[in-house]
Structure 1
Amino acid sequence: MTQPEFHVLSRSDLAEVEISPETVISAVRRGYLAFANGDSRCPTKLMMPLPDRQRDSVSYSMLGYDGGIETLGFKTSYRQGTESPDKYYTTISLYDDRTGMPFALMDCERVGASRTPATTALIAEACAKPEASSVLMIGTGIQGRNTLPYLVATLPGLSRLMLYGTHPDGMRESHARLAQYFPDREIEVVEDVPVAAAEADIVVAASGRAAHPKVRTGWLKPGGLLISVSSKGVDSAALAEADYAIATSEGQLGVTGSRFDDGQGSARIDAEFPAVLAGQAPARNSPQDRVFAFSSGMIITDIPVAHALANRAIEAGRGQRVRLWT
């Protein structure tokens, strides 16, 4: 190739690309570890609310470098409104730093729907108590539907899988995703979130403005883990109530999780997750700690998942090659 060109991959080009939970989890793990070891770069997410509050529109961008696969990534997102997935658009561009050439421009919905549950699974693996056997999943949106199979792939000892959701399509898809990978497992649908949270070893909140009481860390039993996937369904006191607090990125907690601050413009965390995963920081101080983990998307996890999906799609003959610079 003598001229710079992108492989342009649409949402439909990527929709049927098969990639297992184990493959995604491994890619995300490598991304975090490369960052923890200083081989990658990940500036804080830039987010800009738009002036018309009635539509609750927001735009943000992320830039990062994955030292493991020597690839640079730019991600952009725009959403108009809170409830409409039809008005959410996100893309990622990849550049090969070994050749200095552009590689792919692609829809990022499938990437986010894969790397987010992989991050959740890795947080659960590292931070849940060793004998954890039950999980409550709250939310059935695009990123939440893969969470239970990803958790089971990482923690096969989970025997009780509880699910709370309000959208019929999301509930059906959540059941289907688990059955696809673990047909022998069953989901227990729950209606009382506080009661279920008190019974679960791990609680994952990925709901928007859902019809349930906002989740509190204080509901957890000793040793419990609450993972907030940038969820509006988590009470703003959840971080302050925790015995130990983790964030995927302290900087991004200040951007996308500012409601968890202490009233003086700051939010206390005890460790960043990449350091926990790399063994550079503890996952908790005590087996009895109620742990709160704030999960915000980091492009160092988008890049390896996007790279893997793009390669599979290109090998299958999907997408188009576009030369923007000729």
Structure 2
Amino acid sequence: MPSDAELLILSGPQVEPLLQPADVLAAVREAFILHSERKGRVFPLVRERLDTGGVFGIKSGDVQAQALLGFKAAGFWPANRGLGGEPHQATVMLFDPATGRPTCLIDGNAITTTRTGAAGALGLRELARPDSASLCIFGTGVQARIQLTLALALLPAIRQVRYLTSRGTPDAGFEAAFAKQGTVQHAIDANAAVTDSDIVITATPGRSALFAADAVRPGTHINAVGTDTIGKRELPEGLLDRARVFTDDREQCRTIGEGQWYDGFDVTEIGDLLTGRVQFARRTEDVTVFDMTGIALQDLTVARMLLQRAGEGGYGTRMHWPW
């Protein structure tokens, strides 16, 4: 049996310096294009609730022409907060499709955070009004922070940011993180904050609708980040019926995304927009929604980029892995 094979292991601290925003954005864009062109496959999703109170899932897929194969095992364990840990946990593994041999094991937490942030940035770039001056964000956690960071970098016209918390109280740490970017104000009235905003970002655990449908005024763009499991919800009933809806994967939108709450509506995959298979010219009065459920190809293209960067810079730990 071959005995000279190695498995590359990239821990969280080793991963984070390699996740340059431009590289991640390019990798995520490629993932959506591969999906649109059907060059990348997304395998059936596993998403199950556990007796421990956690949710465990597996997202897997491949790009046969690029010899890219792998999965991300991830989920959400809310009790971790009480242990001083991160509720979101993820691990990515890449394989050699010719032999099945594992080639790379990667801490997936930072991958999940940055690839989801990059997807949100692509949604804003393609769908939001470039002159958007006000933004409302629900949530102040890790994902909310990266979504807002990239939104402010992408849309310099934004001058006012309102945020809402589940507790209804201000988050001093969140405000301090964005103090240099301008005015970040805590809001209590969700409907009023939405009405006064050009962009709405929802980045919460998604247990119920966060605002009323009639609070969304014409011209608004919404990045819906949190709904990625059966039973989750962030957007109100009736909103998708009057919006132009985009998603990363049509089937996932209808099964685990915001589409699970609707019998039927038109939805466009954002990859089709990036490839030009679908044309969309925003009108002033259009309401647009990007329902972000997260697809395996995002994790795989980012993981492949990390594998390349690690090889170039000598990062990671290599373990003897005979097969």
TM-score normalised by length of structure 2: 0.82
| TM-aligned CA deviation for residue 165 of structure 1 | 3.6
Write the distance in 2 (CA, Å) between the matches of 1:57 and 1:219: 33
Partner SS for 1:91? strand
1:203 aligns with 2:200: yes
Shift of 1:158: 3.0
SS in structure 2 of the partner of residue 143 of structure 1 = helix
Residues 56-109 of structure 1 show CA distances to partners (whole Å, capped at 9, x for unaligned) of 432111112246854222111243447745454311112355998643101100
Q: Is the 8 A contact 2:7 2:104 kept in 1?
A: yes
2:12 aligns with: 11
Whole-Å separation in 2 of the counterparts to 1:174 and 1:267: 39
What is the Cα-based RMSD across aligned positions, in Å? 3.3
Correspondence for 1:222: 218
CA distance in 2, matches of 1:296, 1:268: 17
The structure-2 alpha-carbon separation of the partners of 1:254 and 1:260, relative to structure 1 and needing over 3 Å to count, comes to closer
Q: Are the aligned partners of 1:44 and 1:252 in contact in 2 as well (CA < 8 Å)?
A: no
Shift in alpha-carbon separation, 1:235–1:31, aligned structure 2, 3 A: closer
Secondary structure in 2 matching 1:72: strand
Q: Specify the code of the residue in structure 2 equivalent to 1:118.
A: A
Is the Cα contact below 8 Å between 1:28 and 1:115 reproduced in 2?
Answer: yes
Contact 1:244–1:291 under 8 Å retained in 2:
yes
Bigger shift: residues 162-171 or 1-10: 162-171
| Residue identity opposite 1:114 in structure 2 | T
Contact 1:284 1:291 in 2 (8 A): no
For structure 2, the 5+ residue unaligned runs are none
- The verdict on how the C-alpha distance between 1:149 and 1:244 changes in structure 2, with shifts beyond 3 A counting, is same
Q: Distance in 1 between matches of 2:273 and 2:125?
A: 11
Alignment partner of 1:92 is 2:92: yes
Q: Return the offset for 1:122.
A: 0.6
Q: Percent identity?
A: 23
Amino acid at match of 2:221: L
- Which of 294, 299, 304 is 2:301 aligned to? 304
Cross-structure match for 1:293: 290
Counterpart of 2:125 in 1: which secondary structure? helix
Q: CA deviation at 1:142?
A: 2.0
SS in structure 2 at match of 1:144:
helix
* Distance in 2 (alpha carbons) for counterparts of 1:308 and 1:187: 36
Q: Indicate whether 1:105 and 2:105 are aligned.
A: yes
* Secondary structure, aligned partner of 1:146: helix
1:269 aligns with 2:266: yes
Task: Give the secondary-structure state (helix, strand or coil) at the position aligned to 1:145.
Answer: helix
Is contact 1:7–1:319 with CA below 8 Å preserved after alignment?
yes
Residue number in structure 1 paired with 2:246 = 246
Counterpart CA distance in 1 for 2:149 and 2:88 is 25
Q: How does 1:169-208 map to 2 (within 5 A)?
A: 172=173, 175-176=176-177, 185-191=181-187, 192-208=189-205
Task: Give the Cα separation in 2 of the matches to 1:259 and 1:37.
Answer: 23
Q: Any conservation in 2 of the 1:260–1:267 contact (CA below 8 Å)?
A: no
- Measure how far apart 1:203 and its partner are: 0.4
Distance across 2 between alignment mates of 1:249 and 1:318: 33
> SS at 2:94's partner residue?
strand
Question: Which residue of 1 is the match for residue 153 of structure 2?
Answer: 153
What is the one-letter code of the residue matched to 1:11?
A: G
CA contact (8 A) 2:233 2:258 kept: no
**Number of residue pairs matched by the alignment:** 313
Which of 69, 74, 89 is the equivalent residue of 1:72?
A: 69
Q: Is the aligned partner of 1:280 residue 2:277? A: yes
1:19-30 aligned at under 5 Å gives the runs: 19-30=19-30
CA contact (8 A) 1:77 1:91 kept: yes
In structure 1, what is the Cα distance between the partners aligned to 2:251 and 2:20?
31
How big is each residue's C-alpha offset from its partner over 1:117-160, in whole Å with a ceiling of 9 and x where there is no partner? Answer: 11111111111134323222221222221112212333333333
The verdict on how the C-alpha distance between 1:169 and 1:301 changes in structure 2, with shifts beyond 3 A counting, is farther
CA–CA separation in structure 1 for the residues paired with 2:246 and 2:79: 26
Letter in 2 for 1:230: G
Answer whether contact 2:159 2:183 (CA < 8 A) is retained. no
